[in-house]
Amino acid sequence: MQKILTIIGARPQFIKASVVSSVIMQTEGIEEILLHTGQHFDTNMSDVFFNQLGIPKPDIQLDIHGGSHGEMTGRMLAEIEQAMLAHKPDRVLVYGDTNSTLAGALAGAKLHIPVAHVEAGLRSFNMQMPEEINRILTDQVSDLLFCPTDTAVQNLNNEGFAHKPVQVLQVGDVMQDAALLFAEKAEAPVGELPEGFILATLHRAENTDSPERLAAIIDALNEINTTLAPVVLPLHPRTRKLVALHGLELNVHLIDPLGYLEMLWLLDNCKLVLTDSGGVQKEAFFFGKACVTMRDQTEWVELIRAGANELVGANTIRIIDATKRHLGRQVQDTVNLYGGGKAAERVVFHLLR
């Protein structure tokens, strides 16, 4: 029996883990211990995902959130290490690019426990992003690198991984598995929503920690909401605080953060997606919606090449112009970019091997 310690802590990881954990529960010869760091800790950002997605209650629940990146990662590293010493897993499984990801990978590597990284090989080539640092370092200490795309495999090959004693495997994207699995269960958020709406998300630190970038994006969203189409914005608590701190005003349809099933409904029913999220760029594509990405780089370059996504940075005019061009436009996955919904099965197959 192989014992896997899975480390999660943030919304995207709950979604990714839900499909992999489901396959693990149906597979003989493998046992999963689930550790939740507490990085996303309020009900809307954490508990609701476990309830909606049927993820087992975590075996280990830490309560680590807030503070600087270094402080948070250090506290996680210490407590995850203690959990590993107590449970003695055969392998550590981490997802994505958060502080929880890096802490779990480092704890495993220092205890000489093999580390598997789901969503390995993604690169924005922007070292100002904490996520870029997390994903690069996590890849360096992992021996099973589960890549979601051919581009991710090529990134690792360019960094010399083809000559290291590791396995680089293109398994597809578990986020597509989740979107396909849960689409039929999607449910409308509570409350009235405007017709013909644009779905927006805004939380990336490169935007929210810069008063200039934040103001430029808010100016664009306000103008779009007034002149083009209503903008529905589920607002992260941290972003809400920063908007108030800088004396900015959002004149859009604001709602609280949502569970995954409500987000899927919004993606399925919107006319366009405006985002600075990594995962939402792909989720828009899974639902056939064009996406305007308010960042300077993206890890999902294949969406740019396919014409499904346009990068506009935090430039007010570019955001508005791109919205005019893409509003209501449908996109199609003609080349099966993300594995067709079988990524979780491939991950568990290789974990057993």
152 domain residue, yes or no: yes
Instruction: Specify the pLDDT at position 132.
Output: 95
What tokens appear for 17 in the block? 């883990």
Three-class DSSP category at 37: coil
Domain range for 259: 186-326
- Same domain, yes or no: 203 and 77: no
Segment 185-199 shows an average pLDDT of 95
* DSSP H helix total and E strand total for the chain: 15, 13
List, for residues 11-63, the tens digit of each pLDDT value. Answer: 889 889 999 999 999 999 999 999 999 886 654 555 666 677 777 789 999 98
Cα separation, 121 vs 291, in Å, equals 22
Instruction: Specify the pLDDT at position 12.
Output: 85
180 domain residue, yes or no: no
- Same domain, yes or no: 194 and 169: no
- Same domain, yes or no: 262 and 345: no
Instruction: Specify the pLDDT at position 44.
Output: 53
41 domain residue, yes or no: yes
Domain count, the chain: 2
Q: Using alpha carbons only, what angle is made at residue 105 by residues 101 and 106, rounded to the nearest 5 degrees? A: 120
CB 280, CB 201: distance < 8 Å:
yes
Length of the chain: 353
Cα separation, 21 vs 8, in Å, equals 12
Average pLDDT, the chain: 94
- Same domain, yes or no: 310 and 194: yes
27 domain residue, yes or no: yes
- Same domain, yes or no: 55 and 203: no
Query: CATH number of the domain that 100 lies in?
Result: 3.40.50.2000
Give the residue numbers marked as catalytic.
203
Segment 228-255 shows an average pLDDT of 95
Could you tell me the pLDDT band of residue 90, with boundaries at 50, 70 and 90?
Answer: very high
List, for residues 111-126, the tens digit of each pLDDT value. Answer: 999 999 999 999 999 9
What tokens appear for 249 in the block? 């005003």
Instruction: Specify the pLDDT at position 11.
Output: 82
List, for residues 151-161, the tens digit of each pLDDT value. Answer: 999 999 999 99
Could you tell me the pLDDT band of residue 262, with boundaries at 50, 70 and 90?
Answer: very high
271 domain residue, yes or no: yes
Cα separation, 99 vs 133, in Å, equals 10
- Same domain, yes or no: 31 and 142: yes
- The label of the residue with tokens 């883990």 reads 17
222 domain residue, yes or no: yes
Confidence (pTM): 0.88
- Name which residue leads in pLDDT, 39 or 145: 145
**For residue 29, which phi and psi values (nearest 5 degrees)?**
90, 5
Segment 186-193 shows an average pLDDT of 94
Instruction: Specify the pLDDT at position 164.
Output: 96
Torsion of CA 53, 96, 309, 251, to 10 degrees: 70
List, for residues 92-105, the tens digit of each pLDDT value. Answer: 999 999 999 999 99
List, for residues 306-344, the tens digit of each pLDDT value. Answer: 999 999 999 999 999 999 999 999 999 888 899 999 999
List, for residues 52-71, the tens digit of each pLDDT value. Answer: 777 778 999 998 888 898 99
Instruction: Specify the pLDDT at position 10.
Output: 86
